[in-house]
Amino acid sequence: MKPSLLIVVESDPRTSGRPAEAIRVAAGIGTWKKVEVRLHLRGAAILSLAEYSDEWIDEDNFSRYLPILKEWGWPVTVQQGAAAVAELGEPLIPFEEISDAQWAAMAARATYVFRF
């Protein structure tokens, strides 16, 4: 069984480059196919999925690397009930809302957890 990596992003892409870097890292590590990578976005980080990221810091990383995550067939997960979901509009890729309990279970099962 492959090791698994959960990347949790809580930073706001409008004010921080951390979400863009997290997505780039997820795509890079997942491309090796030696680790199962999952991406979970919380709070304002959910805006990283917005179709229009022109004003986000390091905006090229969103349009370049999010489609790679979509190709893997795993949904990006987001915090259920977060206000940013309503602000999102049309997402660049599909996502699944999960509860905090589901997120905690996902983190407990992961071999590694990175937080951005």
pLDDT in the model for residue 15: 96
pLDDT in the model for residue 73: 80
pTM score: 0.94
CATH code, 61: 3.40.1260.10
Domain limits at 71? 4-115
| Residues with Cβ within 8 Å of residue 16, at least 6 apart in sequence | 57
Cα–Cα distances in Å, from 63 out to 3, 43, 60? 27, 20, 6
pLDDT in tens, 42-58: 999 999 999 887 888 99
Domain total of the chain:
1
Q: Six-digit token pair at 77?
A: 């997960």
pLDDT in tens, 76-102: 999 999 999 999 988 989 999 999 999
